[in-house]
Structure 1
Amino acid sequence: MIHELEKLIQERKTEPKEGSYTSYLFDEGLDKIAKKFGEESFEVVIAALNDEDLVEETADLLYHLLVLLAAKGVSLHDVETLLAERHGTTTPAKPRRDVTEW
């Protein structure tokens, strides 16, 4: 399903459709798309903490991520390729900062 959604989003980018929310986002530009992604990210965090609507908010986040990737010319295939490369590496993971340090 996610690849089908990616294809539909790409179609809306190249062939806008009147009344389409996806077309609206592309018309508004990268700033609007990035802000919506940030908003949806926050909503996922809140949903996880409150045990409410996590699946719905995650679906919204994934949709907005796909729109953001399309706006920047990045495909799911690009992301999958990088993940496959990372999975195949044997170097130890880099230490991560705790969220409280951000």
Structure 2
Amino acid sequence: MDKGVLDELYSVIKDRKENPMEGSYTNYLFDKGIDKILKKVGEESTEVIIAAKNKNKDEFVGEICDVVYHLMVLIVEKNIELNDIAEELYKRSKKIGNKKAERKPVEKI
């Protein structure tokens, strides 16, 4: 997958927030606010789960795209940069292979 596609989607969504376009579904979500955006993320996540149980790959991919789009709207709404997410994923990638049981518990003071 081309990372540029996600960067481009993020840029378009951010631009819609900064420069509203009449008739834009993205602007509709921003205008309705956080509750509507969260509702759509929840609905689309549920549809991904249902599609995953079916055998139709195209339907599953479509639902994943819907949830990614709505997550991007949420990310922009919360003023999170894609780089913030990339940095966190990078930090987590350094932990790959570390089993939780092998980690030392933090002592309580």
In 2, the alpha carbon distance for the partners of 1:28 and 1:86 equals 34
TM-score by length of 1: 0.86
Partner of 1:84: 90
**Could you state the TM-score of these two structures normalised by the residue count of structure 2?**
0.81
* Structure 1: gaps of 5 or more residues: 96-102
RMSD: 1.5
CA change 1:79–1:49 in 2 (3 A) is same
Aligned residues: 95
Q: 1:17 to 1:90 in 2, by over 3 A?
A: closer
Instruction: State yes or no: 1:11 paired with 2:15.
Output: yes
Larger radius of gyration: 2
How many angstroms apart in 2 are the aligned matches of 1:41 and 1:87? 24
* Structure 2 counterpart SS, 1:43: helix
Q: Structure 2: where are the runs of 5+ without partners?
A: 102-109
- Structure 1 runs (4+) deviating above 3 angstroms are none
Change (3 A) 1:93 1:11: farther
Amino acid of the structure 1 residue aligned with 2:80: V
Cross-structure match for 1:2:
6
Question: Which moves more between the two structures, 23-32 or 46-55?
Answer: 46-55
State the 1:91 CA deviation.
7.6
Residue by residue over 1:48-94, the C-alpha shift from the partner in whole angstroms, topping out at 9 and shown as x without a partner, is 01123000000001000000000001122111100001112368344
In structure 2, relative to structure 1, the CA distance for the partners of 1:88 and 1:45 (3 Å cut) is same
CA distance in 1, matches of 2:80, 2:99: 25
Of residues 27, 31, 36, the one that matches 2:35 is 31
